[in-house]
């Protein structure tokens, strides 16, 4: 058996362990009783350490070295797989096993405590555990940075978005920061001139919302034989290979929150369900990174499903489901409601125009936290000051402020910028798809997502990690990642 084939077997075992962790993590966030949280933290930490031991074993390093010597004899996908194996190995060997275990335990414990702290709007209740998470994440960033030749923050960022660097993000975000205040003012003036949006009055029973969401999951192409929807405090997509779990949360006063959450997470799920099947147990089959993953959620939620053609398809469905009629339930008013721009406190409920401000705030804070320029005790004040500066809002409590997101409490530092980077990629990809598939928007207006999904399967999903993010985008759209098409999209949709 060649060194490369032995590596494939080894990484298939790692994939199985990752799938087990994924299902345990899904259960932790959906159905696990609170009293099981400490034991679950131990279980997840044990799986993390087992994976780390396999990946960092001396034999793994020896096999990688031997396989790389004969890489020229490998096929293209095998070469890319070997590259991804080396990348995973480099990240893993940078961390000692005790730090891997500490990281998993700190994140699990803090995440569970966050749920109650968020409900109680009590930041102080979770602050000590968040401080532990931050200490661990700084140690991880420093260890990986030293091994990979990166800054601590870039090392954490690279774990979510291979090859992405703060120096690449900063100019793109600076362009957004400069343009957003003027754009927001123009959009608000335009909305005021067009008159108020008619209210879509509830209540909207949760069981009906669930039925609509499941129907639309099928419409966009979700394979229900390889996944399922559930409820969680914070919407997410997780689970395992060929067992993709998505979640949302319901508000009986506003059905659009759950509905768009389902469509957003379905975009993530479709990416997972469309991975190259011949390589499912190997690193090269995985999504390229979180910028590309977020692009797939946003290309469905924002680009396609907030378009006029899709809303024209959606309007009669929701009228019938909720038993409503009248001017408020006409397609044009629903479109105006779904594209209404208004500064708000909650990131996941934010419109396209104000959403980047939420990311700019978090990105600035997490880079400062990892650099040691900010401590956990500073988070509420910095958060509230940032919301005032960026969106003109006075945050009334921590639940609507710094406790709204799960990310930092679970140890995900370096993730937040990928949301807006993903929005940029989504705009580029959707523009390219419309050009390549002239009937795409007409099909979406009829509830037919086959042309869109076919294009994404060909140009994104089936590529796995064969290409870098910029290589993938160049092949699909003709340009690397930038903010130009995204900014043009915002102006076109919201200013006509």
8 A C-beta contact, residue 465 and residue 288: yes
Which two three-digit tokens encode residue 341?
A: 């721009």
DSSP track, 192-232? HHH-PPPP------HHHHHHHHHHHHHHHT--GGGEEEEE-
Going edge to edge, which strands form the sheet with 227-231?
A: 227-231, 243-248, 237-240
Q: Of 111, 137, 265, 294, which residue is the catalytic one?
A: 265
Cα(492)–Cα(129) distance, rounded to whole angstroms?
A: 44
88 and 32 Cβ atoms separated by less than 8 Å: no
Tokens of 236: 């997410």
Is the C-alpha dihedral spanning 438, 441, 445, 449 positive or negative? positive
CA angle 22, 290, 164 (to 5 degrees): 135
Tell me the C-alpha distance between 369 and 135, whole Å.
10
> Which residues, other chains included, contact 326 with Cβ-Cβ below 8 Å and sequence gap of 6+?
none
Q: Which residues of 35-51 are buried (b: 16+ CB within 10 A; e: fewer)?
A: eebeebbebbbebbebb
SS3 at position 377 = helix
> Residue 289: which residues within 8 A CB-CB, separation 6 or more?
160, 161, 162, 163, 164, 418, 469
85: which DSSP letter?
Answer: H
The helix (H) or strand (E) run that includes residue 239 is strand 237-240
What is the rounded (10 degree) CA torsion for 28, 29, 30, 35? Answer: 50
Task: State the pairing for strand pair 237-240/243-248.
Answer: antiparallel
Omega prior to 203 cis, within 30 of 0: yes
DSSP lists the bridge partners of residue 238 as 245
The pair of three-digit structure tokens given for residue 324, joined into one six-digit string: 């409503």
* Residue 75 annotated among the catalytic residues of the structure: no
Q: What six digits make up the tokens of 424?
A: 């940029």
How far are the Cα atoms of 109, 330, 360 from residue 381, in angstroms, in the given order?
24, 43, 16
E strands, 243-358, are 243-248
- Token readout for 51 is 């994976």
Comparing C-alpha atoms, which of 131, 113, 109 is closest to residue 41?
109
d(CA 54, CA 56): 6
* Catalytic residue list: 265
């Amino acid at each position: 058996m060649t060194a490369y084939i032995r590596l494939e077997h080894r990484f298939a075992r790692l994939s199985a362990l990752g799938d087990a962790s994924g299902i345990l993590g899904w259960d932790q966030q959906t159905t696990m009783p609170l009293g099981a949280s400490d034991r679950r933290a131990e279980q997840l930490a044990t799986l993390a350490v087992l994976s780390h031991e396999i990946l960092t074993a001396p034999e793994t390093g020896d096999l990688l070295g031997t396989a790389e010597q004969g890489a020229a004899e490998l096929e293209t996908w095998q070469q890319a797989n070997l590259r991804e194996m080396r990348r995973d190995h480099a990240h893993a060997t940078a961390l000692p096993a005790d730090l891997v275990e500490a990281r998993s335990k700190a994140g699990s414990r803090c995440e569970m405590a966050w749920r109650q702290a968020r409900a109680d709007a009590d930041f102080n209740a979770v602050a000590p555990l968040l401080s532990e998470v931050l200490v661990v994440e700084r140690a991880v960033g420093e260890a990986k940075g030293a091994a990979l030749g990166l800054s601590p923050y870039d090392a954490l960022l690279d774990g979510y978005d291979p090859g992405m660097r703060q120096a690449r993000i900063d100019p793109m975000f600076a362009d957004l920061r400069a343009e957003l205040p003027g754009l927001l003012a123009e959009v608000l003036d335009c909305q005021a001139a067009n008159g108020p949006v008619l209210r879509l009055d509830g209540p909207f029973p949760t069981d009906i919302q669930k039925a609509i969401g499941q129907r639309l999951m099928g419409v966009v192409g979700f394979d229900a034989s390889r996944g399922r929807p559930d409820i969680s405090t914070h919407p997410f997509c997780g689970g395992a290979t060929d067992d993709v779990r998505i979640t949302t949360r319901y508000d009986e006063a506003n059905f659009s929150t759950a509905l768009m959450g389902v469509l957003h997470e379905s975009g993530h799920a479709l990416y997972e369900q469309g991975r190259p099947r011949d390589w499912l147990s190997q690193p090269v089959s995985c999504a390229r990174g979180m910028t590309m993953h977020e692009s797939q959620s946003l290309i469905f939620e924002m680009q396609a499903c907030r378009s006029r053609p899709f809303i024209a398809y959606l309007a009669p469905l929701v009228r019938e489901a909720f038993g409503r009629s009248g001017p408020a339930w006409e397609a044009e008013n629903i479109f105006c409601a779904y594209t209404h721009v208004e500064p708000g406190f909650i990131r996941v409920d934010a419109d396209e125009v104000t959403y980047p401000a939420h990311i700019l705030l978090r990105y600035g804070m997490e880079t400062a936290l990892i650099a040691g320029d900010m401590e956990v005790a500073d988070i509420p004040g910095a958060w509230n000051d940032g919301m005032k500066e960026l969106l003109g809002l006075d945050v009334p409590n921590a639940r609507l402020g710094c406790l709204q997101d799960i990310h930092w409490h679970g140890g995900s530092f370096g993730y937040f910028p990928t949301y807006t980077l993903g929005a940029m990629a989504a705009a580029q990809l959707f523009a390219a798809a419309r050009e390549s598939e002239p009937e795409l928007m007409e099909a979406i207006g009829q509830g037919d997502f086959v042309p869109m999904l076919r294009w994404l399967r060909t140009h994104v999903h089936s590529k796995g990690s064969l290409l870098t993010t910029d290589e993938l985008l160049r092949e699909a759209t003709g340009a690397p990642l930038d903010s130009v098409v995204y900014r043009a999209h915002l102006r076109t949709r919201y200013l006509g």
